[in-house]
């Protein structure tokens, strides 16, 4: 690999995507970032993604708009679905925070972008350990998508297939955070909360906040997240 080989990275603005971007940079890739605006209930995530794109000096940062009606049964604007708080984790139950086929759609865009731009590597910060029950964060999903990518693209058919990079897949949140700190990631730029305040503060009670907070505690790293005060 040359020091300027291209890679597409899915940059959500969260902790995992920041860490996977840092790993790609460490490996010498030139980053081309994709962020998706799919009707999230807040804009904090998109702002965080923009900060991270600047932090990592990505060669490009494309924001793709997907109509929120595509995900009408998920936690998007005007869905009427409440964010679950302080729930007991059950790995066998897919929670209401699941967004239908999200990673299938996101990776499909990344695949098209990679083939168009000449990149072979696609980085995604998916995690199967602290993944809150999402079916599209499991190893078997990524193995299946890899097969599909090789079978359904010109580059794949011609033997120049793509590599779906999931370096965080088997790591705990604490291991992810330690690696990010080692690589100099500024986690104060990242956002995880499903139900942030208008000022960007995190609720501290949704699945994502709880997983994030526990990860920092187990990693022995100060949590830079600003949580709102409980009334």
**What confidence tens digit (pLDDT) does each residue in 19-63 have?**
999 999 999 999 999 999 987 777 888 999 999 999 999 999 999
pLDDT score of 77: 58
Average pLDDT, the chain: 88
pLDDT score of 100: 84
Higher pLDDT, 200 or 89: 200
Identify the band that residue 76 occupies on the pLDDT scale cut at 50, 70 and 90: low
pLDDT score of 39: 79
Identify the band that residue 1 occupies on the pLDDT scale cut at 50, 70 and 90: very low
Q: Say yes or no to pLDDT of 105 above 60.
A: yes
Q: Say yes or no to pLDDT of 153 above 90.
A: yes
What string of H, E and C letters represents the secondary structure of the chain?
A: CCCCCEEEEECCCCHHHHHHHHHHHHCCCEEEEEEEECCECCCHHHHHHHHHHHHCCCCEEEEEECCHHHHCCCCECCCCCCCCECCCCCCCCCCCCCCCCHHHHHHHHHHHHHHHHCCCEEECCCCCCCCCCCHHHCHHHHHHHHHHHHHCCHHHHCCCCCEEECCCCCCCHHHHHHHHHHCCCCHHHCCCCCCCCCCCCECCCEHHHHHHHHHHHHHCCCCCCCECCCC
pLDDT score of 121: 97
Q: Say yes or no to pLDDT of 86 above 50.
A: yes
């Amino acid at each position: 690999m040359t020091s300027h080989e291209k890679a597409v990275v899915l940059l959500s603005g969260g902790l995992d995507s920041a860490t996977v971007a840092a790993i790609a940079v460490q490996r010498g890739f030139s980053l081309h970032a994709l962020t998706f605006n799919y009707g999230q209930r807040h804009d904090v995530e998109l702002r965080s993604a923009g900060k991270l794109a600047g932090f990592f000096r990505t060669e490009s940062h494309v924001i793709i708009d997907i109509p929120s009606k595509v995900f009408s049964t998920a936690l998007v604007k005007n869905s009427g679905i409440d964010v679950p708080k302080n729930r007991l984790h059950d790995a066998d139950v897919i929670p209401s925070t699941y967004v239908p086929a999200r990673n299938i759609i996101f990776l499909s865009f990344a695949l098209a972008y990679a083939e168009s731009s000449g990149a072979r590597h696609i980085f995604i910060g998916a995690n199967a350990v602290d993944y809150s029950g999402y079916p599209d964060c499991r190893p078997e999903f990524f193995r299946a998508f890899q097969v599909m990518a090789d079978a359904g693209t010109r580059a794949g058919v011609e033997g120049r297939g793509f590599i779906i990079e999931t370096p965080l897949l088997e790591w705990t949140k604490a291991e992810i955070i330690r690696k990010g700190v080692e690589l100099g990631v500024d986690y104060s730029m990242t956002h995880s909360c499903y139900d942030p305040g208008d000022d960007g503060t995190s609720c501290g009670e949704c699945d994502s906040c709880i997983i994030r907070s526990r990860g920092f505690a187990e990693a022995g790293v100060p949590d830079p997240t600003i949580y709102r005060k409980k009334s």
